[in-house]
Structure 1
Amino acid sequence: MTDRVVHDRITLMGCQVDNLTMQETLGRVERFIASGLPHQHVVVNVDKLVKASRDPGLQQIINDCALVNADGMPVVWASRLLGKPLKERVAGVDLFEALMARAGDKGWRVFLLGAREEVVGKVAELYTRRYPRLVLAGYRNGYWQGAQEAAAVAEQVRASRADLLFVAISSPQKEQFLGQYQAHMQVPFAMGVGGSFDVAIGKVKRAPRWMQRAGLEWFYRFLQEPRRMFRRYFIEDMAFFKLLIKEAFKNRRAGQG
C-alpha cells in the first residue's frame, strides 16, 4: 500500500475513490508493477460503501489502498448528485480481464487465490491457454481457517514472486486479508475480484451490455439468485440511500456556510 497517489481522489460517504478511466487505471497498475513495491487495490460499490459506513476498520483499509475504483453505476450516479462526478465506472470484472490480457502480453507473474479448488483450477487453465505468455505463479482455493493458516497462505504467495495477485473471497474478508498481509507478500498489485472467477468460466453470466449501461446489473444478478441476493439488495443495501441523503444535506450545509 505504498506510493499512494491521492491527487485525483474524491471522497464519497467517507471512502476515497480514484477518479480514473479504465485506461488510466491500467496505466497506474503498470507503474505499480514497474516499481516492484506492494500496492493494494479495492473497488467500492453500494454494498461496500454501506459496510464501510458501519465498520471504521474496513473504511480505513479502503482509504489506505493505493488504488480505489468505483464498481457500480449507482456509485457513479451518486458522485454526480453530490457534485463530485466520477469519469466512469471501472468494474472489477472488466479490470481483471484487462489485466489478465496485459499479463499475457507482458509475461507478468499471476497468482490466483480464492473460490473452490475446481473453480480456481479452471480459471488457471482457461487463462494460461488463452494467453500462452502469461506466467502462472500459482493458485489456491479461498478456504482456510485461523491466523496460522492465513499466514501460511500469505507466505505461499510471497514465495511465488507474483506481480499480480487476484483474490476471490468475500468482503470484508478479502480486504482484511490484504490489509494484514500485503506488506509481507510484497506483490506489486493485489486486487480483490469478487465473483470474477465464476464469470470467467461461465458459471455466472453477466448482464447484457444495455443492462450494465443502465445500471441494472444488480437486478440481473438478483434474477439469477433471488433467494441469496434479496436480503443484500432489498434490505441491507437500502442504507445506501440514507447515506446519500445524509451526505447531500451535509454538502448543502457546508455550501451555505
Structure 2
Amino acid sequence: MNRIEFLGIPIDNLTMAETLTTISGAIEQKRQLHHVVVNAGKVVAMQKDEQLKESVVNSNLINVDGQAVVWASRFLGTPLKERVAGIDLMENLVMLSGRKGYKIFFLGATEKIVKSVVNKYTKEHGEEIIAGYRNGYFKNSEEQQIAEQISKSGAQLLFVAISSPKKEKFLYQYREKLANVNLIMGVGGSFDVVAGKMKRAPLWMQKVGLEWFYRFVQEPKRMWKRYLVGNTKFILLVLKDRIKF
C-alpha cells in the first residue's frame, strides 16, 4: 500500500475503492486487518495521548476520515487521494457482506440503537450477515469477556461504535484475542446515524469539509470544544510543520 507520513502519523493513501479491495482480500485470505481512521481531532489528541497514538500507528490499515486532513496533506506536499469516511466504508462493507455472505458483529451505542441497526441491516441484507451484537455500555472488567464473545461469534467483521479514544484502545488491546476476525474497525457515532437518531450533513457540506459544523449545530454543548478548540490546535500543528520546510 502507498503509505505517507502526516505530522508523524502514517496514513494509507487509498481511495474508497482501493480500501474495499484491500479489506475484501484480507477476508478472503482469512487474515486480520486492524483498521483505524484519522481526522483533525484525533491528530490533535494523539499529540498528548501516547496510548491512542500507539494504537493508531500500529494499525494495519489507516484511512483519512476528515476533509481537513486531506487539505492539510496537500498544503504540506504529501497529498492524499481522497477522504474515506468511516460511515461510508461501513455501509459499503455491509453491502459487500450481503453479497458475499460475510458475518458482522456490531458493538456499541445504546441497546435500542444497536438493535435498530441490526434490524435495519437484517431487513436489507438478510439475517445471515449478523454474527451478533452488544451495546457499548460496559465496565473495563467486562472487556475481556466481550472480546471472547465476539471471537466465538464467527464474525469476519467487527464494527465498534464507541467514542474515541476508547474504541481505538479496546481494539488494540484485544486484537490478538480477536485474531480470527478479519476486520476490526471503529466506526464512532455511525450507529446513531444508521438508526436515524442523528442526521448526517447534506452531501454538499460533506464535499466542502463542513460536516463537522453540521454535527456541531446538532450538539453544540457537547461538540464545541472538540471542534472549535480542536480545529484551531490542528491548524497550528499544520502551520508549525510547514514552517519547518
Look up the match of 1:80: 74
Structure 2's unaligned 5+ residue stretches are: none
Q: Distance in 2 between matches of 1:102 and 1:30?
A: 8
Alignment partner of 1:213 is 2:204 = no
Structure 1: which 5+ runs fail to align?
1-6, 253-257
Offset, 1:169: 0.5
Match of 1:236 in 2: 230
**Which amino acid in 2 is paired with 1:231?**
K
AA of the residue aligned to 2:107:
L
Does 2:148 match 1:155? yes
Q: Within 5 Å, give how 1:8-47 maps onto structure 2.
A: 8-47=2-41
Q: Residues of 1 paired with 2:126 and 2:204: CA distance?
A: 32
CA shift, 1:134, in A, is: 4.2
Do 2:40 and 2:230's aligned partners in 1 also have CA atoms closer than 8 Å?
no
Secondary structure of the residue that 2:163 maps to in structure 1? coil
Residue in 1 that maps onto 2:96: 102
Match of 1:126 among 90, 98, 120: 120
- 2:165 matched to which residue of 1? 172
Structure 2 counterpart of 1:174, which letter?
Answer: K
Deviation at 1:38, TM superposition (A): 2.2
Indicate conservation of the 8 Å contact 2:12/2:63, yes or no.
yes
* 1:231 Cα offset (Å): 1.2
Q: Secondary structure at the match of 1:161?
A: coil
SS in 2 for 1:182: coil
Deviating more after overlay: 119-128 vs 59-68: 59-68
- SS at 1:227 equivalent: helix
Q: Which amino acid aligns with 2:30?
A: G
- Residue 183 of structure 1 aligns to a residue whose secondary structure is coil
Cα distance in 1 for partners of 2:205, 2:148 equals: 41
Deviation at 1:191, TM superposition (A): 0.6
8 Å contact 1:107–1:133 — kept in the other structure? Answer: no
What secondary structure sits across from 2:106 in the alignment?
Answer: strand
Aligned to 1:64: 58
User: How many angstroms does 1:237 deviate by?
Assistant: 3.2
**For residue 50 of structure 1, what is the aligned residue in structure 2?**
44
User: Deviation at 1:113?
Assistant: 0.3
> Share of identical aligned residues, percent?
50
Contact 2:101 2:129 in 1 (8 A): yes
Matched to 1:119, the amino acid is: I
Which of these residues, 194, 198, 202, is aligned with residue 204 of structure 1? 198
Q: Following the alignment from structure 2 to structure 1, what is the Cα–Cα distance between the partners of residues 27 and 200?
A: 29
Segments ≥4 residues shifted beyond 3 Å: none
The amino acid that maps onto 1:149 is E
Alignment of 1:173-188 (within 5 A): 173-186=166-179, 187-188=181-182
Q: CA RMSD in A?
A: 1.1
For 2:129, the equivalent position in structure 1 comes to 135
The TM-score with structure 1 as length reference comes to 0.92
Residue type at the aligned position of 1:70: V
Change (3 A) 1:137 1:188: same
